[in-house]
């Protein structure tokens, strides 16, 4: 079983765009999608994405350093697959020009990392952030 869960909250000025995203992700992850009161600041849909990884950051980093790709980590019977999440958000970004991120939170059992100013390209930001975390931990 994938040991990652996702919480997505958003402020919206347009129609709800998250039904397909939720359908795409619910087979792989525990997901919670909530609309928050208020107006969107920058885009029509401002979202706060929280990715909860059920492992300590140092253990995750050690698995990646052992040769696993950052988005397809597997250790024994434990799975930490980020690729379906990245693909689902890439699809959402392509379909909705005014969708952006207020923040991305990566929560490990012992550490929380918050990234602001994403606007688009969750996949490229995760692709930059996760290897950088590995370097910093060393």
Read out DSSP for 55-78?
S-HHHHHHHHHTT--TTEEEETTE
Alpha-carbon distance of 17 to 11, in angstroms, equals: 11
Q: What per-residue confidence (pLDDT) applies to 64?
A: 78
Whether 138 shows a pLDDT value over 70: the answer reads: no
The CA distance from 54 to 46, in Å, is 26
The span from the CA of 20 to the CA of 42, in Å, is 22
Sign of CA dihedral 86, 105, 27, 19: negative
> Do the beta carbons of residue 133 and residue 113 sit within 8 Å?
yes
Residues 7-66: tens digit of each pLDDT: 988 776 555 678 888 888 888 889 998 877 665 555 556 778 899 988 888 888 888 777
pLDDT tens digits, 83-135:
888 888 888 888 877 677 778 888 999 999 888 777 665 655 666 666 666 66
Domains of the chain plus CATH, in order, are: 4-137 (3.30.429)
Please state whether 104 falls in left (phi above 0), alpha (psi between -120 and 50) or beta.
beta
**CA nearest neighbour of 55 among 104, 5, 114:** 5
């Amino acid at each position: 079983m994938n040991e990652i869960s996702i919480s997505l909250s958003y402020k919206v000025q347009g129609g709800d765009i998250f039904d397909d995203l939720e359908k795409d992700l619910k087979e792989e992850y525990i997901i919670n999608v909530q609309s928050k009161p208020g107006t969107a600041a920058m885009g029509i849909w401002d979202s706060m994405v929280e990715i909860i990884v059920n492992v300590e950051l140092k253990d995750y980093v050690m698995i990646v350093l052992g040769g696993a790709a950052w988005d397809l980590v597997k250790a024994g019977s434990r799975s930490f697959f980020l690729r379906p999440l990245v693909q689902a958000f890439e699809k959402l970004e392509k379909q909705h020009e005014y969708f952006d991120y207020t923040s991305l939170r990566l929560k490990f059992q012992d550490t929380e990392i918050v990234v602001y100013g994403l606007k688009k390209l969750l996949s490229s930001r995760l692709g930059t952030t996760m290897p950088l975390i590995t370097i910093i931990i060393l």
